[in-house]
Amino acid sequence: MTNRSKASHIGSCLSVIDLLAVAFSQKTLDAFSSNNEILLSKGHAAAGLYAVLDALDLLKEPLESYCEDGSQLYGHVNHRASSQIPLSTGSLGHGLPFALGVALANKKLGNKQKTIVVISDGELNEGTTWESALVAPQHDLSELILIIDRNRIQSLGFTEETLKLDPIAPKWESFGWEVSEIGGHNHREILDAISHNSKKPLCIVANTVKGKGVTFMENSIEWHYRAPSTEEMNLAFSEIASVEK
Amino acid sequence: MRNTFINQLFTAAKADKSILLITGDLGYGVIDQFADELPGQFLNFGINEQSMMGAAAGLASKGFKPFIYSIGNFPTFRCLEQIRNDVCHMNLDVCIVALGAGFSYGTAGYSHHLVEDISALSALPNLSIFSPADILEVELLFPKILAERGPRYLRLGKGGEGRITEKFQQVASGISILSGSSKFAVVTTGNILSEVILALDDIAPELHPTVISVSNFISLKDYIPEIKYDRIMTVEEHVLRGGFGSLILEHLSNLNCNVTRIGIDSLSSEISGSQQFLRRSYNLNSVAIAQAIKKELAAIKL
């Protein structure tokens, strides 16, 4: 997708894709989770979200149309791409406040479903994130799950060199959230974390690797922007295929 | 105006549990009855307009009808991108209610002057704009605002506007007329209408222009191209660039009509004072408007 369209953000997609794959698989396979709503606030990882939804046959348009003229699968998350996308995103810091509203609505309606919102660690720079950090515990939104894709890289550099974020867990705990920390590529850990019934809003710090699975993309700022050439794409696929074997 | 609105909303909310009143920690003395009697439908979100707007969109996505209540620039400029992306692009049922249209909060200063909102918000998709002149227009508009789906924006004066449209006839939803000249009309929006009505006292009755008060901007599209005046003067307590007069000009662009716009040329950081003082300073008071009308009348005679 990113090779053909020459689109950016393959590194971001690979860091978040396991989180999305597990959350959407749980929603698809587990009847109890079928009404969960999953929001991807880091809208620049749209290709990752579309790929997951396509694998589960939940996408309205073929994956090949990504970033093609007239396609609904444009480069940042579009709610028209699938009925499973509650919000179009692309500007950072929008997903969590919207998710607050969804979780508040479900609480008022007596629905027990989870609202899962995935944000990038870069979104911890946004004011709305910390506004929402205050709001969710105030309204006892215990069915709200925030997953922070902690890949330690933001647009121009490493997060800790841009705005120091560590320690993340105590910050959210002090705001009144329950916090867990997991390996963000470990499917068992992801599933256990999002299946946990918390009495408070739940913040999951998912430690991830930007560009995960492709050695030359991992932990590289360059791959926030670059689209892989055909040669690089083939190299990446062969590495992923060798791991799968 | 705000009391009239909140009272109407309170009555409607008693019958419709999906109506929510959400405030960004403002509305002292105005929202009390609503908050006390309908606590499940009232939310003081705190002083966080951006998250409040995003959450309102989320609530609307689940079938609620949130009304966001705050002062002037806070539920508009402070969260403009949330309005654009989360509310308008998603085309959700959120009604934004901004108090303090124009210079209603005069002495409060620049931060509280709501004089650029029409320019900014009229550029957004799916958003219906309502700008009543007095409590009578609020009463007339309210059922429309309630029935309308999608994003809505209601700009209200602070209060004390009285019943200035009592003698007006409604000719379309949110468009009311005080008949006068068939050749010359003054078209206004919001509570600056009170200055226009005062200005008429200074004009011989047989020379009075027709006065048109526009409180529902959606109606402009169908109504304005139908009107047959040679000269139109728009009056707004708002900046001219991209404001109400500009919208009228857009709708009149295919007609042979002379348009003069009265409004704020550019907002000065050096002028401060009461609403009356500011209106006088920006040539928006009844005296200045009467002079402008006379100038137009002289042009008609020529």
pLDDT tens, position by position, A164-215? 999 999 999 999 999 999 999 999 999 999 999 999 999 999 999 999 999 9
Listed in order, strand segments (DSSP E) in B3-109 are 19-23, 42-44, 65-71, 95-99
Residue A135: closest CA among chain B residues belongs to which residue?
Answer: B45
Preferred mutation among A128, A129, A132, A138 to probe B, highest tally of B CBs within 10 A = A128
- Would you call A219 helix, strand, or coil by DSSP? coil
Nearest to A18 by CA among A48, A42, A41, A43: A48
- State the CB neighbour count (10 A cutoff) for residue B150: 17
Q: Confirm or reject contact between A76 and chain B (CB < 8 A).
A: no
B155-208 pLDDT, tens digit per residue, is 999 777 789 999 999 999 999 999 999 999 999 999 999 999 999 999 999 999
Q: What is the pLDDT of residue A8?
A: 83
Q: Confirm or reject contact between A222 and chain B (CB < 8 A).
A: no
Side chain identity at residue B59, one-letter code = L
Q: Confirm or reject contact between B140 and chain A (CB < 8 A).
A: no
Backbone angles phi, psi at B109, to 5 degrees: 100, 180
User: Which value, to the nearest 10 degrees, does the dihedral of the CA atoms of residues A81, A82, A83, A84 take?
Assistant: -120
Q: What is the pLDDT of residue A244?
A: 72
Q: What is the pLDDT of residue B175?
A: 97
A150-163 pLDDT, tens digit per residue, is 999 999 999 999 99
A67-95 pLDDT, tens digit per residue, is 999 999 999 999 999 999 999 999 999 99
Model confidence at B134: pLDDT above 70: yes
Q: Confirm or reject contact between A84 and chain B (CB < 8 A).
A: no
> How far apart are the C-alpha atoms of B79 and B75, rounded to whole Å?
6
Sign of the C-alpha dihedral computed for residues B47, B48, B54 and B58 taken in this order? negative
- State the CB neighbour count (10 A cutoff) for residue B248: 23
- Would you call B101 helix, strand, or coil by DSSP? strand
Give residue for tokens 């959120």: B94
Q: Confirm or reject contact between A141 and chain B (CB < 8 A).
A: no
Is the ipTM higher than 0.90? The answer is yes
Mean pLDDT, chain A, whole residue set: 95
- Model-level pTM? 0.96
| Residues with Cβ within 8 Å of residue A148, at least 6 apart in sequence | A119, A120, A121, A124, A168, A203, A204, A205, A206
Q: Which domains does chain A have, with CATH numbers?
A: 2-229 (3.40.50.970)
Show residues of chain A in contact with B90, CB under 8 Å. 79, 87-88
Q: Confirm or reject contact between A135 and chain B (CB < 8 A).
A: yes
CA atoms within 13 A on the CB side of A156: 3
B227-285 pLDDT, tens digit per residue, is 889 999 999 999 999 999 999 999 887 677 899 999 999 888 888 999 999 999 999 99
B28-87 pLDDT, tens digit per residue, is 889 999 999 999 999 999 999 999 999 999 999 999 999 999 999 999 999 999 999 999
| Residues with Cβ within 8 Å of residue A69, at least 6 apart in sequence | none
Of B45, B61, B85, the CB nearest to A94: B85
Give residue for tokens 């998250």: B51
- Cβ atoms of B96 and B50 within 8 Å: the answer is no
Show residues of chain B in contact with A90, CB under 8 Å. 85
Show residues of chain A in contact with B43, CB under 8 Å. 104
> How far apart are the C-alpha atoms of A129 and A206, rounded to whole Å?
16
CB contact under 8 A, A98 and B63: no
CB contact under 8 A, B86 and A97: yes
- Cβ atoms of B120 and B76 within 8 Å: the answer is yes
Mean pLDDT over residues B137-166, rounded?
92
Q: What is the pLDDT of residue B27?
A: 87
Q: Which domains does chain B have, with CATH numbers?
A: 2-156 (3.40.50.970), 169-301 (3.40.50.920)
CB contact under 8 A, B85 and A131: no
Q: What is the pLDDT of residue B302?
A: 64
Long-range contact pairs involving B28-31 (C-beta distance under 8 Å, separation at least 24): B30/B2, B30/B3, B30/B6, B31/B6, B31/B69
Residue A104: closest CA among chain B residues belongs to which residue?
Answer: B59
> How far apart are the C-alpha atoms of B194 and B216, rounded to whole Å?
18
Mean pLDDT, chain B, whole residue set: 94
- Cβ atoms of B30 and B3 within 8 Å: the answer is yes
> How far apart are the C-alpha atoms of B236 and B262, rounded to whole Å?
6
A102-147 pLDDT, tens digit per residue, is 999 999 999 999 999 999 999 999 999 999 999 999 999 999 999 9
Show residues of chain A in contact with B40, CB under 8 Å. 108
> How far apart are the C-alpha atoms of A97 and A106, rounded to whole Å?
14
| Residues with Cβ within 8 Å of residue A224, at least 6 apart in sequence | A8, A9, A11, A12, A153, A155, A210
Helix axes B49-61 and A127-138, enclosed angle (nearest 10): 60
Sign of the C-alpha dihedral computed for residues B54, A125, A204 and A21 taken in this order? positive
The reply to whether omega before A167 is within 30° of 0 (cis) is yes
Helix axes B135-147 and B2-15, enclosed angle (nearest 10): 30
Residue B42: closest CA among chain A residues belongs to which residue?
Answer: A108
CB contact under 8 A, B90 and A127: no
Q: Confirm or reject contact between B64 and chain A (CB < 8 A).
A: yes
- State the CB neighbour count (10 A cutoff) for residue B3: 12
Show residues of chain B in contact with A104, CB under 8 Å. 43, 55, 58-59
User: Which value, to the nearest 10 degrees, does the dihedral of the CA atoms of residues B196, B201, B204, B208 take?
Assistant: 30
- State the CB neighbour count (10 A cutoff) for residue B283: 15
Q: What is the pLDDT of residue B87?
A: 98
CB contact under 8 A, A94 and B82: yes
> How far apart are the C-alpha atoms of A23 and A139, rounded to whole Å?
24
**Residue B151 — very low, low, confident or very high, per pLDDT cuts 50/70/90?**
very high
Measure A79 CA to nearest chain B CA, in Å.
8
Q: What is the pLDDT of residue B114?
A: 96
> How far apart are the C-alpha atoms of B233 and B196, rounded to whole Å?
11
Show residues of chain A in contact with B52, CB under 8 Å. 97
- Cβ atoms of A89 and A29 within 8 Å: the answer is no
Token output for B235: 């009056």
Mean pLDDT over residues A14-38, rounded?
96
- Cβ atoms of B62 and B96 within 8 Å: the answer is no
CB contact under 8 A, B62 and A105: yes
Q: Confirm or reject contact between B61 and chain A (CB < 8 A).
A: yes
Calculate what percentage of chain B has a pLDDT beyond 70.
99
Q: Confirm or reject contact between B75 and chain A (CB < 8 A).
A: no
Q: Render the burial of B259-275: b for 16+ CB within 10 Å, e for the rest.
A: bbbbbbeeeeeeeeeeb
Q: What is the gyration radius of the CA atoms in chain B, in angstroms?
A: 19
CB contact under 8 A, A131 and B48: yes
Q: What is the gyration radius of the CA atoms in chain A, in angstroms?
A: 17
> How far apart are the C-alpha atoms of B165 and B15, rounded to whole Å?
29
Show residues of chain A in contact with B61, CB under 8 Å. 86-87, 98, 101-102, 105
Q: What is the pLDDT of residue A7?
A: 84
Show residues of chain B in contact with A127, CB under 8 Å. 50
In DSSP terms, which residues pair with B210 in a beta bridge?
B185
Residue B50: closest CA among chain A residues belongs to which residue?
Answer: A128
